[in-house]
Amino acid sequence: MHHTSTVEIYDTTLRDGTQGEGFSLSLQDKLQIAKALDNFGISYIEGGWPGSNPKDVEFFELAAQLEWKHAQIAAFGSTRRPHVAVDEDPQIASLLAAKTPVVTFFGKSWDLHVTEVLKVSLEENLAMIYDTTSYLKKHGRKVFFDAEHFFDGFKANQEYAIQVLGEAVRAGADSLVLCDTNGGTLPSEIISIIKLVKEQYPQANIGIHTHNDCELGVANAIAAVEAGASQIQGTINGYGERTGNCNLTSVIPIIELKKDIKVVNDLSHLKSLSFLVDDLSNNPHFLRMPFVGKTAFAHKGGMHVNAVQKLARSYEHIQPELVGNEQAILVSELSGQANILMKAEDLGFPLQKGSQEALEVLKKVKEAENEGYSYEAAGGSLELIIRKVMGNYKEYFLLDKYQCQYTLLPKEKGAEPICEASIKLRIGAEVSHSVSEGHGVIHALDLALRKSLLPFFPSIEKVHLTDYKVRILNGNDATAAKTRVLIALGDGERMWGSVGVSDSIIEASLHALLDGIDVFLQRQQK
C-alpha cells in the first residue's frame, strides 16, 4: 500500500463544527480554541465563512493581527457564482478580505448536483472551479479545493468527477480535498477511489474530509492516508452537522501512535484540548470517547489491587499518559498528576512531581471534581487552588453575607423585572456593604461586588465579564440538581476563566465571580 510520509491536520471545528446542533461558540470562544489548536500543533485552522456572518468577519480581523506559532488560518467559501465574473463576485471578495494565508473553497463534483441543484451546465461548473482557483492563486493564497460529494459523484459519473479535479489542478490548487459529504462511503471504496485519483494526478496533494453518518469518519480518514492522502480534515470531538465530522481526537493519536507519523507538537495535551472545546461550547464530556474519555482506560477490577494494575496494562492498547489521560482503577492517589502538573506549568507555577504540594493540589482538585467542578476552561480557579497550597496567596477580601432577589412588576406596566443584590465583604479590618440593581443575577452581583471592592482596589475597574455559561449537572435530580457556572473575564490584556458549583445558581455564580476577581488581585501583587 502507498504510504505518505507526512500528514497535515486541518481543523474545521470553528466552521463545520459549529454547524452541529447544540454547538455554538462566541467570538471569544473561537479565539481561545484557535489559540489552543495552534499551541497543540495543528497545521491549518479554518476560522469560518467570512461571507456568512459578522462574527466570522470579526474573527478574521482579529486573527490577522495575532501571532500564530504553528498554524495557518484558513477562510472558507464557495466557487464564484454561475455566470458572474470572478472579480465581480462579492463572496470571493470577502474571502480575500479575510487576509488569511489559506483559502478553502468548495465546488460540485457530482453531475447530479450540478444540473439539478446548481442548475448550470457541466461546462459552467468546470469554469467556476477553474476561475476561482486561478483568481485566488493570483492573489497569493494557498488554495485548497473541497470537491463536494466527491465519492458519490465519482460512483455516479467517474469521468466528470475526475474532470472537476483536473480543473483545480490545472489552475494551480495546492490540495484536492475529497469530501464524503453524506458520510455514506466505506473504507474499501475510499482506498480504491483515491488510488484511481492518484493515478490520474500523481503530483497532486490529496486531502480527505469525512462525515460520520456510518460511524466511519475516522476509519475513512485513516483509509485515505493509507491510499496516499496527506491532509486530514476534521473537528475536535467530532462536532459537526448530523452525526458529526471525522473526530480529530481519535484520528490524531491513531496517526501518531499506530502509523508513526508525527502530526502535532505534544500529543499529551490531547485530553485537555478535548475538554476545553466541550466546556467552551457548554457540552458534557462524552465518557466513552476513545483516547480522551473518562472511561477510556478504566478497568473494573475485582482482583487484588496490584494484580489489577499489572493486568490492566495488558488490556490497554496504548499508555493513557501519551494522550494526557490516565488509567482509572481508583487506587493510587498519584493518578491524574500529569494533567495537573501540565496545567500548573502553563499557569507559571511549576510543581514537582510527587512533591507534597503536588499531592495536596491533586487531592483538592479531585475532591472538587467530585463535587462537579471542571477546570479545563477555568484556569483562574485552578490557579487559586495552586496558590493557596504553595503559600503564594494573599487574602484580599472575605465574603460576609450576600442576598439576591428578583422584583417582578405587573406585566401591564410594561416594566422589566429587576434583580437586586447586596453584598457584604470584610476587607482587612473594614466592612464594605453595597447594593446594586441589574438585569439578572450575575449582572446585579457583579455590580454590587465591584461597588464594594473599587474603593480598596481601583485596578479592578479594568476587569470585565466576557462570558457566562450555566450547566445543570445531574439533571435527573430535577430541582435538586447541581449547577455549574463558568465565567470568562478579561482585563484588556489577559483572559481567564473561573468556575462555581452549587445547588443554587445564585451561589454558583457568586463563587465563580469571586474567584475571577480574586485571581486578578493575586496577579497584581508583585
Distance in angstroms (rounded) separating the CA atoms of residues 182 and 245? 10
Indicate the pTM of the whole model.
Answer: 0.79
304 is catalytic: yes
**CA 53 to each of CA 91, 103, 264, 347: distance values in angstroms, whole numbers, following the listed order:** 12, 17, 31, 34
Terminal alpha carbon distance of the chain: 60
Banded pLDDT at 113 (limits 50, 70, 90): very high
**E strand intervals along 72-224:** 72-78, 102-108, 142-148, 175-180, 206-210
CB 244 within 8 Å of CB 234: no
User: What pLDDT shows up at residue 334?
Assistant: 47
User: What pLDDT shows up at residue 5?
Assistant: 73
Quick one: which of 102, 84, 116 has its CA closest to 11?
Answer: 102
Distance in angstroms (rounded) separating the CA atoms of residues 292 and 285? 9
The residue count of the chain comes to 526
Distance in angstroms (rounded) separating the CA atoms of residues 109 and 122? 10
Distance in angstroms (rounded) separating the CA atoms of residues 145 and 142? 10
Write down the mean pLDDT value for the chain: 91
User: Does residue 57 register a pLDDT over 50?
Assistant: yes
Q: Which three cell numbers stand for residue 86?
A: 470572478
Q: Torsion angle, CA of 355/358/360/362, rounded to 10 degrees?
A: -140
Q: Which of 46-55, 362-371, 473-482, 503-512 has the lowest mean pLDDT?
A: 473-482
* Burial annotation 115-125 (CB, 10 A radius, 16+ → b, else e): eeebebeeeeb
Region 145-165: what's the mean pLDDT?
Answer: 98
User: What pLDDT shows up at residue 303?
Assistant: 54
pLDDT in tens, 240-268: 999 999 999 999 999 999 999 999 999 99
Q: Cell 472579480 identifies what position?
A: 87
pLDDT in tens, 471-484: 888 756 555 678 99
Banded pLDDT at 418 (limits 50, 70, 90): confident
User: Does residue 447 register a pLDDT over 50?
Assistant: yes
Q: How would you classify residue 181: left for phi > 0, otherwise alpha for psi between -120 and 50, otherwise beta?
A: alpha
**DSSP 8-state class, residue 238:** G
Distance in angstroms (rounded) separating the CA atoms of residues 15 and 221? 19
pLDDT in tens, 453-465: 999 999 999 999 9
Burial of 462 (0-12, 13-18, 19+ CB in 10 A): exposed
Pick the CATH number of 8-265 from 3.30.160.60, 3.20.20.70, 3.40.640.10, 1.10.10.60: 3.20.20.70
Among residues 304, 439, 464, 511, the one annotated as catalytic is 304
Distance in angstroms (rounded) separating the CA atoms of residues 158 and 111? 10
Quick one: which of 483, 520, 488 has its CA closest to 505?
Answer: 483
Distance in angstroms (rounded) separating the CA atoms of residues 128 and 81? 7
Quick one: which of 105, 108, 98 has its CA closest to 76?
Answer: 105
Distance in angstroms (rounded) separating the CA atoms of residues 520 and 54? 31
Banded pLDDT at 366 (limits 50, 70, 90): confident
